[in-house]
Amino acid sequence: MTRQHRGMKTRHLIVRTAAEVFCERGYHGTSTTEILTRSHLTRGALYFHFDSKQQLAETVATVPAELFVPPDGPVVLQCLVDFSLAHADRLATDVVLRASMRLSAEHGSGCSQDAALHEVKLRAVLLRLLQQAHSAGELVPGADPLEVTDVLMGFFTNVQPYWAKTTADLTHRLATLWRYLLPSIATAELLPRLRLHPGPAPQPARPGPGEEATVAMSGSVG
């Protein structure tokens, strides 16, 4: 292993351990001492790579731009559903991404400016897709792109207090939320074609309250 390779490994270890502590305790509750204890590194090793706790938090908080690129497809709402579920899945499995979300939501954290990136970028992607779905005639009248974005962001920012350690059901929870939201958002023509499981081949949507509600409502009107 070359010295450069060892250096990169150490840097990754520091970032990952810092992310774990930020996730559990937030910016103010995190000490570099705790990071050193958990990573079994010396203070010298940490300060070789990072100037301060703040610089470390800014590194953790900066999310790669490609994570905010939604998939392409003929139905915009499906792209939105797929993107949101994939993002939830990444949050469930990637502690650094989860920490960036927590730092992003934390007012008064030492890296508030950079940390706002995750939340601001995620909101921008969701809103843009909903506006495109609206333009494409995929939304029912009255479904407001801004309001739906707020509801979805409520879900994503809620990751922070709850899933500091165990996030196994995060994607499942978002799929549940979508099942209850889609009947208020998607047109009746589109609704049965939307699927809540990622994958290339379109499948019929899982039977949920949305569809059954549709049937019940139609029945009572007719």
Binding positions for its own copies, rule: CB under 8 A: 24-29, 102, 105-108, 140-144, 147-148, 150-151, 154-155, 157-158, 160-162, 164-165, 173, 176-177, 179-181, 183-185, 187-189, 191, 207-214, 216-222
C-alpha span between 128 and 133 (Å, rounded): 9
Phi and psi at 164, nearest 5°, equal: -60, -35
Q: Tokens at residue 8, please?
A: 């990169």
Q: Minimum CB separation from its own copies for residue 5, in Å? A: 35
Q: Minimum CB separation from its own copies for residue 24, in Å? A: 6
Q: Minimum CB separation from its own copies for residue 136, in Å? A: 16
Q: Minimum CB separation from its own copies for residue 147, in Å? A: 5
Q: Please enumerate in sequence order all residues whose Cβ is within 8 A of that of 89, keeping only pairs 6 or more positions apart, or say none.
A: 170, 171, 198
Residue with smaller CB distance to its own copies, 10 or 32 = 32
Residue with smaller CB distance to its own copies, 14 or 21 = 21
Residue with smaller CB distance to its own copies, 49 or 130 = 130
Q: Please enumerate in sequence order all residues whose Cβ is within 8 A of that of 173, keeping only pairs 6 or more positions apart, or say none.
A: 88, 155
Q: Minimum CB separation from its own copies for residue 27, in Å? A: 8
Contact criterion met (CB below 8 Å) for 170 and 163: yes
* DSSP assignments along 78-145, one per residue: HHHHHHHHHHHHHHHH-HHHHHHHHHHH-TT-TTHHHHHHHHHHHHHHHHHHHHHHHHTT-BPTT--H
Residue with smaller CB distance to its own copies, 42 or 218 = 218
Residue with smaller CB distance to its own copies, 173 or 195 = 173
